[in-house]
Amino acid sequence: MNFKDKKVAVLMGGMSKEREISLRSGRAISSALQKQGYKITDIDVGWDVDQQLRQVKPDVAFIALHGRYGEDGCIQGLLEILKIPYTGSGPTASAVAMDKVLTKKALRLLDIHLPEDWVFHAGRVLHPNNQKTFETNCLRHLPLIVKPNREGSTIGMTIVRQKEELTAALKLALEHDSTVLVEQYIAGTEVTVGVINGRALPPLEIVPKSGFYDYQSKYTKGMTEYIVPARISPTLTEELKKTSEAVFHEMDLEGVARLDFIVSKDPQKKGVKDSPFFLEVNTIPGMTETSLVPKMAQAAGISFEQLAEEILQGASLKVSR
């Protein structure tokens, strides 16, 4: 749809722990669209977002919100109620993709390698027997990754290498979510794949200097090297692209998404060398000019301005169409 002569609201900021990252994404998108002649109004989303939208009265919304209330279906549901077309996935797809446990349950229907996992609920922490059984099951598979179920940017995430570290890791994750996902740690190469409107971009390899792609490695300049296209075989490249497109369609995603994988180099994992394990999907990935999806798009010959415009042109109502 052509929104060239329409009022476009770029929604950024928000109330999640990824607010500052969202502001960076939103400002970059706003600037890119203004350069192309779009009529842009920036909205720093607050708890009164419904009033903000009624005051601005946009014809379309470009969602540049990360984390809760922006990436989990909440803002999408509000925009559906207000009949304002918006970018990205709908309320249900956004909510499922934000929930790591639900995502893995949905994708077990596909032939995709997933790390073995255990789910820990806050309500069970108070019962010593339940906690002991849970910890015993997990600790047979060290090392582990412990992370909040519905949080992004590796917030609250810990690598557990020794059994004594598990309790503290669970407590940290529970500070951010009532449900914690504990996964088998897969050693290997981190690779991510961007998908735009159903078509996969060239995979990008992530090489954190610390050895772990945590919050500091993501957002501190010089802490991580990004290589696109990834240094993997042509066969594996096609497999990752095909898998990413399959996940995109299976989860009913729209617009742009980024899918994260670990390519295991341990032949003992699943008995297959260089086997890709799916980790999670991000339905509103970072959108600064140095973010990962723009890097992949650039490798495919798509400029940042073109990328922003293509995402905008795909804006629509999902529930009521």
Whole-angstrom distance, CA of residue 113 vs CA of residue 184? 12
C-alpha span between 206 and 224 (Å, rounded): 7
The residues annotated as belonging to the active site are 18, 153, 219, 258, 260, 280, 282, 286
Asked if 90 and 320 count as a contact pair (C-beta separation under 8 A), the reply is no
Residue closest to 95 by CA, chosen among 298, 320, 252: 252
The torsion angle over the Cα atoms of residues 22, 15, 49 and 309, rounded to 10 degrees, is 10
Q: What is the DSSP letter of 304?
A: H
Which of 266, 268, 296, 274 shows the shortest CA–CA distance to 206?
296
Amino acid at 89: S
For tokens 């999408």, name the residue: 76
Coil, strand or helix at 226: strand
Rg of the chain on CA atoms, in Å: 20
Find the helix or strand (DSSP H, E) in which 8 lies.
Answer: strand 7-13
Q: What is the rounded CA–CA span in Å between residue 138 and residue 118?
A: 7
* Residue 282 to residue 67: CA distance in whole angstroms: 10
How many Cα atoms are found within 13 Å in the side-chain-facing hemisphere of 69?
A: 16
Do 158 and 129 touch, CB atoms closer than 8 A? no
Peptide bond into 203 cis (omega under 30): no
Contacts of residue 230, defined as CB under 8 A and 6 or more positions apart, other chains included, come to: 189, 191, 202, 203, 204, 205, 237
